[in-house]
Structure 1
Amino acid sequence: MICTWEGNKDLERKLQSHEFQHLLINDGQKTLLIKPKVAEINIEKLIFLLPGEFTELNSRKIRRYSCSNISANLIQNGSSFQGTLVEFSATSLHIKVQSSPPQTFQWLNNESPATLVLSNQAEAIYSTECNILKQSCGQHMRSIVLAPTSDRIFKFKPKKHRSTRNRLKPSPSINFRHPLTKGWIDLDVDDISGSGLSVTENVKDSTLLPGMIIQDLALVFANSDSLRCKAQVVYRIPPEDSSLQDTVKCGIAFLDMKIEEQTRLLGMLYQAENKHSYLSNRVDLDSLWKFFFDSGFIYPEKYLHLKSNKNTFKNTYRTLYEKKPNIARHFVYQSNGNILAHMSMVRFYNNAWLVQHHASRKTETRRGGLTVLSNASRYANDTYHLYSAHLDFLFCYFRSNNRFPRRIFGGATKYIDDPKGCSIDSFAYFHFNKSFNESWQSANHWSFNSTNTEDLQELKRFIDYSSGGLMIPALDLDSICQNESQLFREYRELGMVREQHLFSIKVKGTLKAVIVLNLSESFLNMSDLTNCFKIIVIDSVGLTREILFLMLSILCVKFGLDKIPALLYPSNIAEEMAIPIEKIYNLWILNMQHMDRYFDFCEKVIPGFGITPS
């Protein structure tokens, strides 16, 4: 065996004053004592002839792993001690820290818990509350052994309705470079859901610490397809099966994942549960067009609205369904290519997704329609904690005479009974045609300008008073500059229009109304509710239909519009202003933090709602 010295400082003197006795080799679990024959020892190398036997001095139950270049920060009662991680096992950590005057190690209390934060050169990779098991007696540098106080962490708010765990066959595997040892880890997956997975480790070789962050975890399937994500170990517990006591079960939560990869994963999981369920699969547009007619979703009045722009409509849906962009999701229940039910979602605001196009063939059972609604709800529940999903809110528009959404969305709002958790606001709907019946001079006390920060604050106070709902945060009415956001740039990269402009109507400086102009690709929503004026009247005193229509006409000229849908809030203002309306639309918004209550209600009215039937 040939060895080299780790350092050669003052080595020549040491070789003259010391003599070799034996080798001690520690592999992290066992310490071996070996007495070889010395062939040569000099300042460059050591050469030994190994014997055929050795002595095992001790054996640990759990292996320790040596570490390098991992910074440690031990915090207790406001004191912080900096150092490095020396080694760790699955149940303890050995660090070396130093004190800097006026610090003293007397500030460390062995009987109180402390917080340990480990980091590499870039960012924190592990943190935990721990107990101090023992420490050395150095004045300026000490070795400290710590034990985590818990075998699990709670990264997210606990859910009553958790993601469905699936045991796939064949099982996928995970591999990643361990953040503390820098070595490669490869483990088989026990079960997996849209929000995380579990694996089994051998107790004595375990390396997964609850709280440890894995920057780049690869999830590899049997066909060599793989997905990558940022993840975190969230628990390490004994197995339920008593015959597997030499193993430990570890849970890993997904912290972030490219949204297209999350969609691929959930698509595989939903189809593993139900072969008829598809998520954002490739859809034949002719089949989709036929389905919309057969299901009654496109009725004669709506078809007349679409007919003159049929090519525009098809181009929009070709982008959404064939390019499969990150801004759109669709859920399909089909058999042998025959679409039986459908629902879609589009990211229309920065952190809010519009749910629309829920339809099923009337000749089929209710299963398909309920399945796509369930899958869309489960998708939201699986992904809203991911930053890349940009999913803080779900929203949709429905009419009160539409029985199913009134029962589900209206019922959920009453059940949750908290407008900051789930809200409904009613809008009067009409089509506005550009006209100038009044001259600007007749409105000489009125002003019409881009909305400013003070106007938004007043708008928020009005919505909080009149509704108390979620309109402000969900519809991006809490900030002015939206058109350069990442979302709008993504629309433009797809060759699609997406803009939002805010304008304020005032009289003598008093805010009367805010007009929100949303511009998007025609028929992104079939009722064009994504391409319309949204008029929020804060104070109707003195604001007449003529003044309002004059302002709308000015915007039509500015943006090259002739006829455009308009939504007016509060809805009773239409009657007050004698504005003829076509219908009332209810805007339903759900805060994702209240998904448990939403699922509670849905399962009351639809037994087994959260479970995809096979």
Structure 2
Amino acid sequence: MDKLQRMAKFSHYTGLDKGLEERKKVSRKRLRNILNHINFQTGTILINFKHLKYDTVLSLQVKPQPCLENSLECLWIEPAGLKQKLTSYKFLNFLLTDDLALILVEAALEEISEEGISFSLPEICYELSYRKVRRHLCKGIQVDFIQNSVIFYGSLLNFSAVSFCIEVSTEPSQPFHWVNPEDTVYVTFKNKQDILYSGECRIIRQTYGQKKSAFVLKPVNDQIRRFKTKEFRSSRHKLSPSPNINFIHPFTQKLINMEVEDLTGSGFSIEEDMDNAVLLAGMIIPELYIELAHDFKIRCKSQVVNRNVYKTNDNKTLLKCGMTILDMDIQEQVRLSSYLHQAVNKKAYVCNRVDMDALWRFFFETGFIYPKKYALMCADKERFKETYEKLYVENPQIARYFVCQDKGVIQAHISIVRFYEDTWLIHHHASLRAEHGNTGLVVLRQVERYINDFHRLYSTHMNFIGCYFRPDNKFPMRVFGGCAKAINTPKACSVDSFVYFSFPRSGTDPNLPEAMTLTKTQPEDLLELENFYEYESGGLMLQALDLTPDMIDNDNLSKEFNRLGFKRERILFSLKKNDAVKAIIVVNVSDIGLNLSNLTNCFHVIILDAKDLPINTIYICLSMLSKYYEQHDEIPVLLYPISYAQSQSVPYDKIHTLWILNTQYTDQYFKYMDKLFHHSHNEEVQDFIVYPEMHDDTRTRREKHGRPLRIVTKNEIDSQHENEDGR
């Protein structure tokens, strides 16, 4: 039944057309404007006739034509035979809608023809305001109506801020009397592509037909829990000027534009008038734009998660709706986080355009690239430059960087790279000396804020955050190692240590000892690895580094690297003796310089069974596999566990600890970080941050609170350079 027909039926059978003198008046001038707007929208009005003998009412839709003076002409929608049929009826009035009101017009009939009907408009007509909340007509929304294991199918007719009306069909095997009006129902709204809403509802009214029935339903809940509740939520920003959101409403297909009340990296809130509300708690908006300025829009997928009703001082009823971001392209994440980080700190930048000469100068000035490291880099310096040009100018979605910059001078830097399917690695953390302020912490908190805002989005692929650090570097040991110790749950946060050494490339092809084989890893080999690792550590390393059986053939990320013009290969080999797995060797190959310590371009060797496995056998395997690398002289190797290296007296350069956080446990991480940086022992943490200079008598520069300076030797500084580089 059409909206106007329902209105007309409601009007005639409840007596709303009586006592019109008490109702709000509508002038002929305003009536003409309303009629012309209906014509502009290709809308209709409803003409009512009364049978001359039986007093029954006939209502017909017509199309009003442009109205210039006091006369109105309308065309029949289905003209065939209408003039003859109407000889048994007399004209009563016509009805039209304007916003929330139904307007009754008692016009004078002028003429009825085969094509249409015309009237003389009265000076005054009357507004029948029977709705306090607007109902919005819906298009193309399919409905699943479920109660106690019985499902009916239909469509969504209209909805308002408090309820919606659906029409469903029945089948002989499922009669409508199976629906219990005293029990709740569960409904799902969907279009051809997406589920747009689902929720539990109460039945308010219902009308039964033989084949179809209409139900008016009211949602039970005004809020949903889309994600697990977090103690450390994204920071809210009330911005001036306020951004807007705009989207095509999924139910009505009309453009909606609203002002944002506050904005975070994970969602936003808006206010709307109760009588015009268009948002339902639980409704999904597949494509929504956050408009920060003209032609500066951020696209996302969003969902309404709560609605709260409140009254203003002038007794106006408003709804405040909270909306969460369900997904957002990773490049759009950069735009939003960059905007919000600048709102917090004007010196904090996310993936801003960086002068490459200034960046390299910064890395050398901070000692991040120290002489020993540069000696290893210089032969491939042009390739390093090429890689960083692509990373910092083209801004690919596999990497993000955060910069603290003042008056064009880079003061601190940190970056993350997605090197595993759902794992990002934090690295390249460096800062200038202390007189510039604690900028190293500024960028560290930036990357934390980015993780907190976006890790739940599918497009981010951020189930884990990892970081390699030197355990003798006090600052990362206190931050990351301390965090793992404080959380004390290996499946939430874990640390695993590797020995690091360089292996010379070999031009020969040595042979393995008898009964030893080196073959491509099979799923069952990784099951054996899981058993070993759970016994040895019980942490997150295998999941984070894609070393589980279900990930053995997954090359989605490698394809993404290749699409972006980068290199990323990962080949797994199993060293076996008489078919028993002795070691797993991971060949990770990437662009030289993606990580400045080449920890993304190295061997990972995991020893499962050390018995009868001399280190020379591992060296033979590495020699056989060195063909996959392009390094001129030496290939980095990370060997696990340390106990094997110690038992075999393996000479190594340093120890790297791999810290991994499951992002489902970010609250525990932020709780620890807040305690570390904001409580009374903050001063002790500051002592661990070294701002190196290349002089023997370098000292750390401490905050100016009257504390003595701590002397640092050149050896400590050189060690610190190496430690920071490994992060």
SS of residue paired to 1:565: strand
- Which of 207, 223, 228 is the equivalent residue of 1:152? 223
Contact 1:24 1:34 in 2 (8 A): yes
Contact 2:202 2:218 in 1 (8 A): yes
**Partner residue of 1:356?**
427
SS of residue paired to 1:572: helix
- Which of 164, 178, 188 is the equivalent residue of 2:235? 164
CA shift, 1:433, in A, is: 1.7
Q: 1:254 to 1:42 in 2, by over 3 A?
A: farther
- Which of 431, 440, 448 is the equivalent residue of 1:369? 440
Contact 2:414 2:443 in 1 (8 A): yes
CA shift, 1:558, in A, is: 5.5
- Which of 181, 189, 193 is the equivalent residue of 1:110? 181
SS of residue paired to 2:129: strand
Give the partner amino acid of 1:519: V
- Which of 303, 322, 326 is the equivalent residue of 2:374? 303
**Partner residue of 1:318?**
389
**Partner residue of 2:153?**
82
CA shift, 1:365, in A, is: 5.2
CA shift, 1:484, in A, is: 7.1
Contact 1:38 1:47 in 2 (8 A): yes
Distance 1:41 1:409 in 2: 85
Distance 2:616 2:448 in 1: 43
Q: 1:321 to 1:550 in 2, by over 3 A?
A: same
In the alignment, structure 1 residue 405 sits paired with structure 2 residue 476? yes
- Which of 667, 675, 694 is the equivalent residue of 1:604? 675
Give the partner amino acid of 1:125: L
In the alignment, structure 1 residue 465 sits paired with structure 2 residue 531? no
Residues 71-93 of structure 1 show CA distances to partners (whole Å, capped at 9, x for unaligned) of 11111121111111111101101
Distance 1:259 1:240 in 2: 39
Range moving further from structure 2, 468-477 or 49-58: 49-58
**Partner residue of 1:487?**
557
Q: 1:25 to 1:509 in 2, by over 3 A?
A: same
Range moving further from structure 2, 223-232 or 268-277: 223-232
SS of residue paired to 2:642: coil
Q: 1:399 to 1:37 in 2, by over 3 A?
A: same
**Partner residue of 2:643?**
572
**Partner residue of 2:666?**
595
Distance 2:429 2:644 in 1: 30
List gaps (5 residues or longer) in structure 1.
610-614
**Partner residue of 2:68?**
none
CA shift, 1:380, in A, is: 0.8
Residues 84-105 of structure 1 show CA distances to partners (whole Å, capped at 9, x for unaligned) of 1111101101111121121122
**Partner residue of 1:66?**
137
**Partner residue of 2:288?**
217
**Partner residue of 2:579?**
509
Give the partner amino acid of 2:282: G
CA shift, 1:419, in A, is: 1.1
Q: 1:41 to 1:389 in 2, by over 3 A?
A: farther
Distance 1:13 1:414 in 2: 90
List gaps (5 residues or longer) in structure 2.
1-71, 683-727
SS of residue paired to 2:447: helix
- Which of 19, 28, 31 is the equivalent residue of 2:102? 31
CA shift, 1:228, in A, is: 1.6
Distance 2:375 2:315 in 1: 66
Give the partner amino acid of 2:624: I
Give the partner amino acid of 2:232: H
SS of residue paired to 2:90: coil
CA shift, 1:480, in A, is: 7.2
SS of residue paired to 2:414: strand
**Partner residue of 1:525?**
595
**Partner residue of 2:519?**
449
Distance 1:357 1:488 in 2: 22
CA shift, 1:454, in A, is: 0.9
Give the partner amino acid of 1:554: M
Q: 1:161 to 1:560 in 2, by over 3 A?
A: closer
Q: 1:225 to 1:244 in 2, by over 3 A?
A: farther
Distance 2:99 2:349 in 1: 48
Contact 1:435 1:550 in 2 (8 A): no
Q: 1:432 to 1:68 in 2, by over 3 A?
A: same
CA shift, 1:9, in A, is: 7.9
Q: 1:262 to 1:40 in 2, by over 3 A?
A: farther
**Partner residue of 1:235?**
306
Contact 1:202 1:248 in 2 (8 A): yes
Q: Percent identity?
A: 43
Q: 1:139 to 1:585 in 2, by over 3 A?
A: same
Distance 2:432 2:404 in 1: 10
Contact 1:483 1:500 in 2 (8 A): no
**Partner residue of 1:331?**
402
Figure out how many residues of one structure are paired with residues of the other and give that number: 608
Q: 1:421 to 1:294 in 2, by over 3 A?
A: same
Give the partner amino acid of 1:449: T
CA shift, 1:223, in A, is: 3.6
Q: 1:416 to 1:65 in 2, by over 3 A?
A: same
Distance 2:571 2:407 in 1: 45
- TM (norm. structure 1) is 0.94
Residues 240-299 of structure 1 show CA distances to partners (whole Å, capped at 9, x for unaligned) of 865574221112221222211110111011101111110010111222222222223222
CA shift, 1:473, in A, is: 1.8
Distance 2:117 2:253 in 1: 28
RMSD of aligned alpha carbons? 2.2
SS of residue paired to 1:186: strand
Contact 1:437 1:546 in 2 (8 A): no
CA shift, 1:489, in A, is: 2.4
- Which of 328, 335, 338 is the equivalent residue of 1:257? 328
Distance 2:405 2:535 in 1: 45
Range moving further from structure 2, 475-484 or 593-602: 475-484
Distance 1:527 1:157 in 2: 37
CA shift, 1:143, in A, is: 1.1
Distance 2:422 2:579 in 1: 32
SS of residue paired to 2:476: helix
Contact 1:482 1:500 in 2 (8 A): no
Residues 189-234 of structure 1 show CA distances to partners (whole Å, capped at 9, x for unaligned) of 1111111111111111111111111122122223431122221122
CA shift, 1:12, in A, is: 6.2
Relative CO higher for 1 or 2, CA cutoff 8 Å, sep ≥ 6?
1
Q: Map residues 243-282 of structure 1 onto 2, 5 A cutoff.
A: 243=314, 245-282=316-353
**Partner residue of 1:15?**
86
Contact 1:451 1:480 in 2 (8 A): no
Give the partner amino acid of 2:195: A
Q: Map residues 364-443 of structure 1 onto 2, 5 A cutoff.
A: 364=435, 367-435=438-506, 439-440=510-511, 443=513
Give the partner amino acid of 1:381: N
Contact 1:74 1:114 in 2 (8 A): yes
Distance 1:156 1:193 in 2: 15
Q: 1:7 to 1:234 in 2, by over 3 A?
A: farther
**Partner residue of 2:548?**
478
Distance 2:344 2:352 in 1: 16
Give the partner amino acid of 1:144: F
Distance 1:318 1:268 in 2: 24
**Partner residue of 1:612?**
none
